[in-house]
Structure formats: C-alpha cells, structure tokens
A = this chain, B = another copy of it.
Amino acid sequence: MFRTLLTAAAVSALLTGTAFAQDAKTASALRDKALRDYTAWDITEDLTTSIGPRLVGSPAMERAKDWGVAKFKALGFTNIKVEEFAKPSWTRGEESAELVAPYPMKLGIVGLGRTVPTAPEGVEAEVALFKTFADMVAAPEGALKGKIVVITQPMVRTQEGTGYGVAGISRRAGPTEAAKRGAVGVLIRSISTSDSTVPHTGVTAFGDTVATIPSAAIGVPEAEQLERLAAKGPLRIKLKLASTVDANDVAWNISGEIKGSEKPDEVIVIGGHLDSWDVGTGALDDATGIAITTAAAKLIGDLPKHPKRTIRVVMWGSEESGGSSEAYLEAHKAEVPKIVLAGESDSGADRIFALKLPAGAGAHPLMQTAAGVLAPLKIYVDREPSTHGGADISGLESAGVPSISLEQDASRYFDYHHTADDTLNKVRPDELAQNVAAWASFLYLVADSDIDFRALKAAAPAATH
C-alpha cells in the first residue's frame, strides 16, 4: 500500500538513495570532523602571517608561490604543478590627497588598482561632485573639464553581496568615463558597506588601449564630508599618485591533487586565489578561500580510501588583477571534457547558507542525498542554478565545465574587502569550519560518484524565467 502511493520517479530516487547510503555516511562523518578541524584556520593564519600581502608581481607573491607548493606537499597532495603565465604587474608608490579649499584637510586615500600615476608634483583642481555614477554621465558637456571628479555613490549591504556590482561601476568605469569628459582625476567613495574611514582599492579599467586618469578611493566619512562641504561652496583637492608597471612580469597558477581511486582522469577543480591586494593581508580575500578548499580536499585525502574521481585544488595566481582564469583555461583546454565540475571559494569566510547546483542537477538522487548531508549545517539547495561560480573558473565555465556555488553570507564581507582591514582578526573560526564541512562533504559525494552534470543539464527543461 505504501509504495503504491509513490510516483515511479520517487521510488527510483529512494532506491538509488539507498545506493548512496554508505557515501552519505562517509560524507556526514567528514562534515562532522571538519567542524572541529583547524587545518583551514592554520592555513589562513600561516598565509596571512608568514607571507602577508601578496600583490601580483611582488616579491611576496613569489614567496607565496613557494609557500603554496610547500603547503600542498606537507598536506599530502600529489601531482603538484606550478603553471606560469605572462602577467604585467603594477606596484603602488606614495599616495596622498588633501582638501585645499575651503580649508586644508588631509584625505586618507588608496589608489585604485592599476591606476595611472599623477605627475610627480600631483594634480590640483576644482571638484565636480556627483552623488551617483549616472549623475556624472548625465552632466552637461564641459562640466568635468579640468576638474577632479568625486563620485559618492554608496553601496547597499545585502546577504548575497549583490550591492557590489551596482555600486562598483564608479570604480570600474568612473575613471574612463570621467577621462572622456575631460576630467583630470577621480576620487570615488569606497565601494564599501562599512562606515569606516579605511578606503577600499580594487581594479579599475587599465591597459594600453584604455584612456584613463589618476583615480583613488576615499573612506565613507570623507565622502560624506565632501558631500556636505560641496553643498556649502566650491571645493579644491590636490591628488598625488605614484606607481610603476612591469609589462614583462609573470604569475602562476599552482595546483595539487587528491588522486581518484578508480577514475583518476575525471577531475573536480576547486580552489581560491593566492594573490591579494597590497593593503591588509588578504585574509578574507582570499586566504580563507585557499584554506577552505585545501582543507576540504586534505580531509578527503586522509580517508582510508580516496573517492573514485580526482579532486584538484588550484591556488589561482592573479584574480585581483585578472588573468588567472584565462591562463588556466588555456593550459587545460585539452582536459576540459574530463573536468566534471568546478567551484571557487572567494567571498570571505562567513557561513555558507545555500548551494547552487548546475542546471538540471537538483532532482538527481545524489544531490538529494547531498541536501540531506548539508541540512544540519543550515545550508539549503537553491532552486536557482549556479550561473557564476567565481572569477577564476569563469574561463572553464565558458568552455562548458559545470560549476557549483556554495553561497557565503556576504553581509559583512564588503566592510573589509580590498582594505587594510582585511586581516586575520576578521575571520571567525567556527564559520570557517562550517565552510570546510560543506565543501568536504559535498565534494566527497560528487567525487565518489558517476554523476554527469553535463548530461543532466542537456536533459533539463529550459528555464521558465
């Protein structure tokens, strides 16, 4: 009687589910072990302390490369590789800004990543202040000519970090759009959810073919101060930015593997990025991503028997300045059909609240099993498929590799992102461990299975929205 009430599909799921009982047990044990494991904390502590900030092209980044290789070895990874690629580097010099009128006041700044420098004596000009990027673009012809543009658009705090893309346009396109209109410099309100004076850097448009101008970020209170002062009368600001570039520099993607026991040529690619900005110590961005994925794979590697498929952890070498994703795809083109899944951890270390799967995978019995294993960690499986698993796997994604996204709570992430305050004391050990528990248990299930995400996607009905 009981069984007749079930649909054929559900019966199939239950029967198949039984087939995963042993895997679910192993995955659950991994999960619970991870919650009390300090491997990820130790990796984060060591990378941020022993190496510190690690900008692409810096001596620290070269030390970080050696650190990555040594860490993989120490944790039992095999097939360790260092894949070099060309990456022009940029090095920050002395930076300063000062309000000149209506009265002199120093402004704490940080140059935007890869900004062009000012002349050595700096640039001083009247201010054209806009409360949004759109206001600047809509300004009348000539309004920006010879001015230092200040854009004070704020960022909205959300759990998924969705305010970043919207507010970030000031940083990404502010300098190029202001340059087109004749401005001589740009200061943006930091792309930040905090109320802090600490300014946020991050890459702006750059390159040989990009026409741009010197650009920097100011803290939130300074942006609000300039807004209030601009309402009272004209402002003048002096800005000095120094930097150097090396067009012939290189970067490295570093990887290590937990070799599959039955189908070692089928590979799951996960990781974080090893490079960071030169302010802070790149703790949340992205030492913890390195730590979470490395620790998860290491816990799986410690099992009496490795799962069927290979798990490869990649420490991508140039996320902040771009390039590691393209370089990784280029170096692994031939292997793409055998990469069964990709994922990246790069939104800090606060707790994961949702798993986004490749399209069409949600109904698969293994994924139902995964949902059950993740539920005690307070993680649900989102109905929306993963569309973008991380900047460093976007190359693989574009080549058709299915990806997942373990969504971290980003409410707090953009308080510290790209600042001198991205430091170890912002990492919460218990939430870091919850991340490792999710990655380890989910990865194990996929690695010990035959699930084919590409086939599931091909069979899925088209999205109705």
Contact = CB atoms under 8 A, between A and B. Distances in A.
A260 interface: no
A421 B421 CA distance: 13
Contacts of A49: 225, 228-229, 232
Given A103-B60, A224-B425, A423-B225, A198 B195 contact: no
A53 B221 CA distance: 13
Nearest to A221: B423
Given A49-B229, A103-B60, A424 B224 contact: yes
Interface in A367-402: none
Given A52-B105, A103-B52, A105-B53, A281 B225 contact: yes
Interface string A263-305: 0000000000000000011000000000000000000000000
Contacts of A225: 48-49, 52, 281, 423-424
A220 B103 contact: no
A426 interface: yes
A419 B421 CA distance: 15
A281 B425 CA distance: 27
A45 B426 CA distance: 31
Contacts of A103: 51-52, 59-60, 63
A195 to B, nearest CB: 5
A269 to B, nearest CB: 31
Nearest to A48: B225
- Give the one of A50, A425, A426 with max B CB within 10 A: A425
A196 interface: yes
A208 to B, nearest CB: 29
Given A52-B105, A63-B103, A103-B52, A421 B197 contact: yes
A420 interface: yes
B63 A197 contact: no
Nearest to A196: B421
A146 interface: no
Contacts of A104: 59
A221 B281 CA distance: 10
A52 to B, nearest CB: 5
A420 B105 contact: no
Q: Which 7 A-B pairs have the closest CB atoms?
A: A221-B423, A197-B420, A49-B228, A197-B421, A52-B105, A195-B425, A221-B425
Interface of A: 45, 48-53, 59-60, 63, 103-105, 108, 195-198, 219-222, 224-225, 228-229, 232, 280-281, 419-421, 423-426
7 contacts: A45-B228, A50-B232, A63-B103, A195-B425, A197-B280, A221-B425, A224-B423
